[in-house]
C-alpha cells in the first residue's frame, strides 16, 4: 500500500489551520500567524501553499477570508468551522481531523 504524502500533508495542514483559527477566536488571524504555526509541523510550508489550503477551507465554508488591498489575507472560522474544530459535527473527507477518543 502506497501512502500519498502530498495528500497527507494537505489534509494535516488544513486541520492545523482550523485549530489555529479556533485558538485565535474571536478575533481571527493574519496569514503570517497561521503560517508560523503550520511551519512548526512542516518547516518548508510556503505562503502560497498556505493560501491554497485556506482557499480550500473557504470554499468549504469553514473559513471566512478577507483579502486586503495590501495583499495580506485575514482568516476567521465560520460557525461551521468552529463546529468542525470542536467535534460537534462530522467532517467530510479532505481534512485530517483525528478521531475523537475522549468522552463528552
CATH code for the domain in which residue 18 is found = 1.10.10.10
pLDDT tens for the chain, 104 residues: list them: 788 999 999 999 999 999 999 999 999 999 999 999 999 999 999 999 999 999 999 999 999 999 999 999 999 999 999 999 999 999 999 999 999 887 76
Q: Residue 92 falls within a domain, yes or no?
A: no
Q: Are strands 73-77 and 29-30 parallel, antiparallel or unpaired?
A: antiparallel
- Name the strands in the sheet holding 73-77, side by side, starting at the edge strand that comes first in the sequence: 29-30, 73-77, 63-67
- State whether residue 43 is helix, strand or coil: coil
Instruction: Supply the range of the domain harboring residue 44.
Output: 5-85
Predicted pLDDT at 103: 72
Q: How far is CA 83 from CA 50, 65, 76, in A?
A: 22, 18, 13
pLDDT at 91: 93
Q: What is the pLDDT of residue 28?
A: 97
Residue with cell 500567524: 33
Query: Is 14 inside a domain boundary?
Result: yes
How many domains does the structure of the chain reveal? Answer: 1
**53 in a domain, yes or no?**
yes
| pTM across the whole model | 0.94
Measured over all CA atoms, what is the biggest interatomic distance in the chain, rounded to whole angstroms? 46
SS3 string, 8-28, reads HHHHHHHHHHHHHHHHCCCCC
Amino acid at each position: 500500500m502506497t501512502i500519498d504524502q502530498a495528500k497527507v500533508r494537505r489534509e494535516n495542514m488544513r486541520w492545523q489551520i482550523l485549530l489555529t483559527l479556533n485558538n485565535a477566536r474571536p478575533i481571527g488571524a493574519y496569514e503570517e500567524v497561521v503560517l508560523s504555526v503550520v511551519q512548526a509541523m512542516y518547516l518548508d510550508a510556503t505562503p502560497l501553499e498556505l493560501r491554497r489550503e485556506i482557499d480550500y477551507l473557504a470554499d468549504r465554508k469553514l473559513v471566512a477570508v478577507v483579502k486586503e488591498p495590501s495583499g495580506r489575507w485575514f482568516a476567521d472560522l465560520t460557525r461551521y468551522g468552529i463546529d468542525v474544530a470542536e467535534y460537534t459535527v462530522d467532517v467530510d473527507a479532505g481534512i485530517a481531523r483525528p478521531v475523537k477518543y475522549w468522552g463528552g
